[in-house]
Amino acid sequence: MSSEPHVFPASPVRRGFTILELLISMGVVTVLAALVLPAIGSAREMARGVECVSRLRQTGVALHAHHDQRGQLPVGWSWEPEGKSAYGWAVELLPFMEQQQLYRQISRDQPLDEQTGFELRRALLPMFLCPSDVFEPLFVLYEESSSSGPGAAVMELPTASFVGVFGTKEADDGIPAPLGDGVFLEDQPVRFSEITRGLSNTLCVGERTAARVPSTWLGVPANGEDAACRLVGSAFTSPNCNVCDVCEFGSRHPGGSNFLWGDGRVTLVSENISTAEYRMLARRNAE
């Protein structure tokens, strides 16, 4: 019998990460994520911003088509005969935005709560929404609150991000509202010829986030809280202001809010604009 020792085959060498290598790898991944993720977020916001501008331009095209055909802009809001509710300026643009069927469903001589089509009050229209905003498709409008507590729920309405420029006064300061100095007024149409500041120097439609106050394209009941403010906005302070009235304009875009001008172009108005200049651009008259 052989006395030579039995030689076993060598086991394959198995190498894994050391703790140091693992920590270095995690550090590299963390640095790369910190560099890449903000760029991805910025690219997404840029795309949403471009879409927001496109939708506002579409609104501008519809406004000009409305004026060409009817000789005037839509009124900011108009009351039905009973005075229980008002319909907003955006309703009049529906035929010019390929929404003729929806427009035919709206009986503007009836209060909102008597509309025969329940789905009408649930019609979310992307063309009136900013993709950068965070919102619920529908919001509940409550009665004006009092010292005894919040008011009762009145109606559920479809959300919109774009509101007309009422000017430098408060649209929700009573019924009837004070005469605004912008381009969308209560029961009073404005013609381009009446915008003496010039179309290229006058703000017409701007953004408002749902976080500031939910707005709608459809209309509002008269007893709703800040009712007129759900359809139009006021320029008091600056876009994206922090301490200001809920009727002010604001967006989730960094640096300002998109506005549609009278000539149909859309630009971002800086949140650092002076209050004096901001108010001037919101008025339809030069004086």
pLDDT in tens, 119-160: 788 899 999 999 999 999 999 999 987 666 667 899 999 999
The string of pLDDT tens digits covering residues 69-98 is 999 999 999 999 999 999 999 999 999 999
What tokens appear for 235 in the block? 């320029």
User: Which residue type is seen at 161?
Assistant: S
Q: Which of 226, 44, 27, 31 is nearest to 144 (CA)?
A: 226
- What does residue 236 show for φ and ψ, rounded to 5 degrees? -105, -45
- pLDDT attached to residue 174: 76
Whether the Cβ atoms of residue 273 and residue 187 lie closer than 8 Å to each other? no
Structure tokens at 90: 């955006």
| Per-residue pLDDT band at 1 (split at 50, 70, 90) | very low
Of residues 118 and 195, more confidently modeled? 195
Beta strand ranges found along the chain (DSSP E): 77-79, 85-88, 138-142, 153-158, 162-167, 203-207, 219-221, 232-234, 256-261, 266-270
Q: Where are the domains of the chain?
A: 41-282
Among 40-49, 67-76, 156-165, the minimum mean pLDDT is found in 40-49
* Residues 6+ positions from 113 with CB-CB distance below 8 Å: 84, 85, 155, 221
- Tell me how far apart the alpha carbons of residues 204 and 217 are, in angstroms, rounded to a whole number: 15
* Nearest-angstrom CA–CA distance, 27 and 201: 52
Average pLDDT score, the chain: 88
